[in-house]
Amino acid sequence: MGIYVNPDNRRFLQAVNSEIYIDKSRLISVTNKKLNTEQKYICVSRPRRFGKSVNLAMLAAYYSKGCSSADIFDKFAISRYKSYSEYLNQYHVIYINMQDFLSRSKDIDNMLQRLEKRLFKEFLEEKPGIDLDPDDGLAFWMEDFYKATEKKPFVILIDEWDCVMREHRNNKEALEIYLDFLRNWLKDKEYIALAYMTGILPIKKYGTHSALNMFDEYSMLSSKGIEKYIGFTDKEVSKLCRKYRINFDDMKLWYNGYKLNGTDLYCPRSVVKAVTEKHFGGYWIETETYEALAKYIAMNFDGLHDTIEKLLADQPQPTDTRTFSNDMITFTNKDDILTLLVHLGYLGYDPDKQTVYIPNKEIADEFVVSMKATGLWTETIETVMKSRQLLTDTLQGRSDIVAQEIERVHDSNSSTLNYNNEQSLRFIILIAYYYAKEQYEIVQELPTGKGFADIVFIPKHNVDITTYPPMVIELKWDDTAQTAIQQIKDRNYPEKLKSFEKVLLVGISYTKDIKDHNKKHQCIIEEYQMK
């Protein structure tokens, strides 16, 4: 039993014995099916703090011959699977966190030498008397160990496999050395029963150095059925909220939004912190400074700034993820930046619509902080900061003040070319009422009555509806706000809100005098009593 070779189960027990632990042992049923097959190579990429390391500790505790873990796993879901007993603690395991070695090394060569030295020492301790040539290197040592143990293969578990790609991103030679090392160690080796790596980035391919193409990748773009094992699901978070008496709607607002293969996922760290501290906040982003996001959104590739503003207004944006080079330096267009932000967890991705979006309030707040840091979005930030007051003015019926603020936002956030259309006005409304997302579910083009209401604000379940009543907003271009109000009534748009006693009707319009280019916004706010 070593630290890296055939480790014990203490790291996993630490997770299991924590106040909150959610059983993800069904992942083992997936890896068991891949043992000793062509599909034995697995690379899982997820944002930081998504539970990747806990899963690796679980796999080590399950497979390692260096411990006996039946007393742990007998109570978990995996114990009900046929393969459970067959593979429990039956494999030699190598369990490595690459970041540990990188942080203690002066360069890549030193890192790999340190890694090999540690494993060589533990091979000798695990199998006293084995004849290993110190000059052979890791692959040959493992072949010799494999033969000396009656050809019992290894389960290789590598955490933070991509740390070299992230921290030495500009050192092409170092990256190629590292990929060559992994290829020579792992590819087409009889002594491997399973190789399971985790990281943030998908596998990078460097021309002829497509060294790790034997791996099946499970990323934030394509999870291939294992999504529910990495991250907390809607059902799991709902159960925690009931147990700890936490409002589930608030939890969804703050931390939900990652959707993979039809499954809603939450960042485990954020949920656990919110539950144990009984406070909603930016826990996930505490693990990295805002500069990490700011430096990417400051790159204004072909309209990236406009795209970020639309994302902040809850408007998903089309993105082609195919050109992304799976690194943090090769950017040829805004889609590459957006795809990187998906892998880092700052954006969600809808594969059916091929769009990206900001997943939740925690991340949206991080965008606002990062946008402030860049100094490039002064008008947008001012709009966000004033959005709370705009909602208050609307709820209190101050139509003239609302019209003035909408005109200011429209003037400062729309280009001349895009100014004169209803879609532009819709975006302006969504960004101007940014704060309202905390109190309302905001629905665009809601089918109701005899048509589609432009924008409807529906109070969240935990909101005081006497303070935050539902609102129906109708937009008009080159028309009047009164026409907008009349359309709401004539087409009975409040029909979907009949469970409420009153609804605010908000008509917003602007007209353009082509001759002198003056722009004029109007707003009418009426209280509508439901019958």
Residues 422-446, mean pLDDT to the nearest whole number: 88
Q: Give how far the C-alpha of residue 347 lies from the chain's centroid of Cα atoms, to the nearest Å.
A: 6
Q: Which of 237, 302, 223 is nearest to 47 (CA)?
A: 223
What is the radius of gyration, based on Cα positions, of the chain?
A: 28
How would DSSP label each residue in 34-58? Answer: HTTSTT-EEEEE--TTSSHHHHHHH
Residues 76-83, mean pLDDT to the nearest whole number: 97
Q: How far apart are CA 431 and CA 473, in angstroms?
A: 14
**Paired strand residues for 355:** 318, 350
Q: Which of 389, 404, 415 is nearest to 423 (CA)?
A: 415
Q: Give how far the C-alpha of residue 224 lies from the chain's centroid of Cα atoms, to the nearest Å.
A: 16
The answer to whether residue 38 scores a pLDDT higher than 80 is yes
The answer to whether residue 71 scores a pLDDT higher than 70 is yes
Q: Check residue 225 and give its pLDDT.
A: 87
The answer to whether residue 360 scores a pLDDT higher than 60 is yes
For residue 153, name the pLDDT band (cuts at 50, 70, 90). very high
- Between β-strands 258-260 and 154-159, what pairing exists: parallel, antiparallel or unpaired? unpaired
Q: What is the 3-state secondary structure (H, E, C) of 195-220?
A: EEEEECCCCCCECCECCCCCCEEECC
Q: How far apart are CA 24 and CA 344, in angstroms?
A: 22
Phi-psi label, residue 196: left if phi above 0, alpha if psi -120 to 50, beta otherwise: beta
Task: Summarize pLDDT for 309-342 with one digit per residue, the tens.
Answer: 899 999 999 999 988 888 888 888 999 999 999 9
Full-model pTM: 0.90
How would DSSP label each residue in 117-152? Answer: HHHHHHHHHHSTT----TTT-HHHHHHHHHHHTTT-
Q: Check residue 63 and give its pLDDT.
A: 98
Q: How far apart are CA 376 and CA 296, in angstroms?
A: 13
Pick 327 or 512 by higher pLDDT: 327
For residue 348, name the pLDDT band (cuts at 50, 70, 90). very high
